[in-house]
Amino acid sequence: MNTPLRVVLAEDHTLLRALLRSTLGASPGIEVVGEAATGTEAVRLVRSVQPDVLVLDVELAGGIDGVEVAARVAAGSCRVLAFSSHNDPVHVAHLLRAGAAGYLSKEAPVSEIAEAIWAVAAGESRWFAAALDTPALLTADESEALRHFATGGRPETLALSLGTSAESAMEVLSGLYVKLGASSWYEALAHGWGLGLIRSSRVSEDRGHAYSIRSNVPGHASAASVGSYGL
C-alpha cells in the first residue's frame, strides 16, 4: 500500500480550514496530519510532524507572517504551497524568493487544491494563480531587460541593448530586481519564469529553449518571440 502524502494546513479562518480539510480528506492518497491558525504554530507543527507539504495562507494573523513562514519551512524538506487572495505578481515573487514551491489563488476552484499539492510534492514549481495582475508589473524598458537576459544577454551589455546610458540601464535593472524580488540577473530570469512572464518551448535537445516575454505595455503584442537561449 502506498504511503499517503502528509499535509499540514495553515489557515486562520476556521470555516475555510474546515473546507480544505474536508476536500483533502476526500482526495485519495492525501492525509491531513495537522492544522495551524498562526505562523508561529505552522512553523512549530511542521518541525514536529514533518509533513510532505504545507498549505500556507500567507495572510495568517498573529505571530510571523506567511512569507517568513515560507522561508523557515522551505529551508527543510517540506514543500510549501502558498494559498492567498493576493494576485499581485510582486507579492507572489516575494513568496517564490522565500522558497514557496507553488501558489494557489483563493479565487481558484477548491477542487484544484489536491492537484496543486501533488504537483509541488513531486518537485514541480507550479503557480496556479487564476488571474495574476501582470499588465502593470513591468515598464517597457524593464520588459526589454528581461528579454535581454532571456536571449543570453548580461548586465554589462544591457545599456547597448536598451540604447541608453550605463547609469539609466542600472536604474532599469534596479527596478526590475525590486519588482521581481531578485538580487541578480539570473534570479530575475528565474522569477520571471515562475511568474509566467517568460514562456518557453523546447527547440531541440542541443539548442535549448525558445523564449517569449509577455508584454506588460499597452498597445504591445501579448508575447514576442525572442529566439533561443541555450541552457
**pLDDT range class, residue 209, cuts 50, 70, 90:** very low
CA 186 and chain centroid, separation: 15
Examine the domain organization and report whether 181 and 101 are in the same domain.
Answer: no
Q: What is the pLDDT of residues 88-146, one digit of tens each?
A: 666 676 777 788 888 887 877 877 889 889 988 988 765 554 434 444 568 889 988 98
Of the pLDDT bands very low, low, confident and very high (cuts 50, 70, 90), residue 87 is low
| Beta strands 30-36 and 5-10, pairing class | parallel
Higher pLDDT, 19 or 211: 19
Question: Which residues make beta-bridge pairs with 9?
Answer: 35, 55
Cell of 88: 499581485
How high is the mean pLDDT of the chain? Answer: 77
pTM reported for the whole predicted model:
0.62
CB neighbours (10 Å) of residue 193?
18
Q: Is residue 227 part of a domain?
A: no
Residues spanned by the domain of 170: 140-195
Overall domain count for the chain: 2
Q: Is residue 123 part of a domain?
A: yes
Task: Choose the final residue of a domain: 86, 106, 131.
Answer: 131
**154 and 123 within one domain:** no
Q: What radius of gyration do the chain's Cα atoms show?
A: 19
SS3 for 136? coil
Among the three residues 131, 155, 174, which one is the final residue of a domain in this structure? Answer: 131
Q: Domain containing 27 — which CATH number?
A: 3.40.50.2300
| CB half-sphere exposure, 79, CA atoms < 13 A | 20
Q: Look up the CATH number of the domain holding residue 153.
A: 1.10.10
Rounded-to-5 percentages of helix, strand, coil across the chain: 40, 25, 35
List CB contacts of 24: < 8 A, sequence separation 6 or more: 7, 9, 30, 32, 113, 114, 117
70 shares its domain with 146: no
Residue 81, burial from CB neighbour count under 10 angstroms (0-12, 13-18, 19+): buried
pLDDT, position 194 = 66
Residues 78 and 14 placed together within one structural domain of the fold: yes
Confidence at residue 73, expressed as pLDDT on a 0 to 100 scale: 93
Tens digit of each residue's pLDDT (9 = 90 or more) over 139-187:
889 988 988 888 888 899 999 999 999 999 999 999 888 887 778 887 8
pLDDT at 111: 77
